[in-house]
Amino acid sequence: MMTPIPLAVTARAAALRLPVSHALYHLPRPLGWRLAAVGLPDRHGEAGAVTLLLDDLVPDTAYSLRVEGMDEIEFRSAACAGALTPAGMIEGAARDDLAAARHNADTIADAIAALPVGGTLILPSGDWVCAPVALKSDMVLHLARGAALIAPSDRTSWPILPARDAHGRMLGSWEGLPADCFAAGLHAIAAERLVIEGRGTIDGSGDLGDWWTWPKETRDGARRPRGLHLIGCSDVTLMGFTIRNAPSWTIHPQGCDRLLAVGLQIEAPHDSPNTDGLNPEMCRDVELEGIRFSVGDDCIAVKAGKRGPNGEADHLDETRHIRVRHCLMERGHGGLVIGSEMSGGVHDVAIEDCEMIGTDRGLRIKTRRGRGGAVSGIAMRRVAMRGVQTAISVNAHYHCDPDGHAPWVQDRAPAPVNDRTPRISGITIEDVTLDGLAHAAGAFLGLPEAPIDQVTIRRLRIGSLDPAAVPTPPDMADRVRPMRHEALLAEQANVDCDDASLLSLAPITQK
């Protein structure tokens, strides 16, 4: 018999993995469950996904959970050091009502300040328009079912995070560089043991106001805010909530250690600019599980900062040990993306037991000359892709930044090797299935002075092709030819595949 695996248990919520054989994000069929506790009425439900979320738990209570076809499991909810509900909030205000937004933010800030160590702030059901709020260490923010924490659509008087703090450390950022940016509607700086949980919603109001009309600009001296920005935090748990309509990246952990995100819903319109789902940058030990993504850019983008235009690197750090399991990427530019900001180095990243539907690319690694850094130890295992245009794209000639099309970036002749030469090695692809493939199963475009090394592909299966596919370049680099229904192509890359019929001798680059 299988046994549910607890992933996170707090005073009022829990997330468990249902270890059904061969299940990815969805279960093969729904499974009934029963939750019991002495003195409380039994609760019943049906699980349709591998990640089971339980909310409205009673603190410090022993529970038994029985899931159809599995062993019974017992667990105990955590004790609560004290709970507060903000008093005097204004409910249902218009999103451009700045007076109400500031009032609600002040009220929540006062409640956070009054919380005891380990205490819980409960946001009740209702629509709460609220100016940006900072969270602190040793607290739980519980978003009750039906609660919506809504950022104002008008950016007047929004706080701005400076590019660096008083010690010179990167605080505000934009695309891997220190930069003044508007504070996220919900943010935390150097917080430890922070939990954000519940079945409520965080809404960044990016669809209102003017946030999405200036994606690459600076206005009022700052870049666009994130939906949830965690800077220099450690031991963070994000569980169960929905977050949508971020002004730019949706969840951005920056310089964080030991972060667990489980059972989230991350949403943005397909045409919203740079609304990546979850972007761990210069982070260590990140676990992402049971998350559903439907966004306007990359679903998950693993990053490690970017060298400045003059080689500035004092803000950089590596990203290491990222695990993505049982997630669903329904739409986006890429499923799991590494880069293009990777100058600090990205190492030991694995995506396993996931589903991708309608993303432009599945696994994507992108960098270019001038970035430096290394990407190593990347694995994709047991992933099913449907309607993904290019399954695997590894591109060392990515034409980002104003000089991205310059000859020194795009030249296919060897360049001198130095500390600004990026390196990519150690990519493992196993048990991946592709249906509705449009452009290519894989395109590996390396640098002649630093070829992509140690690519191993085992049991890659192409089930069907997209008959309506239009020939399109699979990599964003100059002189890449359009492709349609092609298998694995490599230029300046060492690829070992167990099915030789998938390896193409056709060129990637055209004159």
pLDDT tens-place string over residues 108-121:
999 999 999 999 99
Instruction: Respond yes or no: is residue 431 known to be catalytic.
Output: no
By C-alpha distance, which of 378, 303, 364 is closest to 339?
A: 303
Amino acid at the residue 72: E
Q: What is the pLDDT of residue 247?
A: 98
Judge whether 482 lies within some domain: yes
Q: Sorting pLDDT into bands at 50, 70 and 90, what band is 73?
A: very high
Examine residue 264 and state whether it is found in any structural domain, yes or no: no
> What does pTM read for this prediction?
0.98
Count structural domains, the chain.
3
Which entry of 142, 229, 315, 333 is annotated as an active-site residue? 333
Domain co-membership, 72 together with 96? no
User: How many helices, marked H, and strands, marked E, lie in the chain?
Assistant: 2, 41
pLDDT at 1 over 80: no
Residue 277 domain-assigned? no
Task: From 179, 201, 234, give the residue that closes a domain.
Answer: 234
| 350 burial type by CB count under 10 A (0-12 exposed, 13-18 middle, 19+ buried) | middle
pLDDT (mean) for 349-365: 98
Whether 472 and 367 map to the same domain: the answer is yes
Residues 40 and 86 in one domain: no
Instruction: Give the range of the structural domain holding residue 504, as residue numbers without chain letter.
Output: 298-400+416-511
- CA-to-CA separations, 291 to 259, 328, 352, 459, in angstroms, rounded: 14, 6, 13, 26
Residue 484, in any domain of the structure: yes
| Neighbouring C-beta atoms of residue 246, cutoff 10 Å | 36
pLDDT digits (tens, 9 = 90+) for 12-49: 999 999 999 999 999 999 999 999 999 999 999 999 99
- Kindly state whether residues 60 and 125 are assigned to the same domain: no
β 328-329/346-357 pair status = parallel
333 included as an active-site residue = yes
Task: Give start and end residues of each alpha helix (H) in 136-252.
Answer: none
Instruction: Place 157 in a pLDDT band, splitting at 50, 70 and 90.
Output: confident
Residues 477 and 328 both lie in one domain: yes
Domain boundary among 76, 96, 111: 76
CA nearest 374: which of 409, 422, 340, 444?
A: 422
Per residue in 446-494, pLDDT (tens digit) is 999 999 999 999 999 999 999 999 999 999 999 999 999 999 999 999 9
Q: Is residue 285 part of a domain?
A: no
* CB atoms near residue 310 (< 10 Å): 5
Q: What is the pLDDT of residues 196-254, one digit of tens each?
A: 999 999 999 999 989 999 999 999 999 999 999 999 999 999 999 999 999 999 999 99
CATH of the domain at 446: 2.160.20.10
Mean pLDDT calculated for residue range 88-114: 97
Quick check: is 276 in a domain?
Answer: no
Task: Assess whether 328 and 449 both reside in one domain.
Answer: yes
Percent of the chain topping pLDDT 70: 100
Q: Which of 207, 276, 297, 360 is catalytic?
A: 297
- Give residue 444's pLDDT: 98
| CB-facing half-sphere around the CA of 147: CA atoms within 13 A | 22
Instruction: Tell me, yes or no, whether 280 lies in a domain.
Output: no
Listed residues 191, 219, 234: the one ending a domain: 234
Tell me: do 484 and 511 sit in the same domain. Answer: yes
Question: Does the residue 270 lie in any domain?
Answer: no
Which residues partner with 429 through β-bridges? 380, 457
* 32 and 154 together in one domain: no
The predicted-structure confidence for 432-449, as pLDDT tens digits, reads as follows: 999 999 999 999 999 999
Q: Per residue in 302-338, pLDDT tens?
A: 999 999 989 999 999 999 999 999 999 999 999 999 9
Q: Are residue 34 and residue 70 in the same domain, yes or no?
A: yes
| Residue 114 · residue 94 · CB < 8 Å | no
Q: Are residues 10 and 123 located together in one domain of the fold?
A: no
The pair of three-digit structure tokens given for residue 20, joined into one six-digit string = 């059904």
The answer on 129 and 16 residing in a single domain is: no
**Shared-domain flag, residues 125 and 69:** no
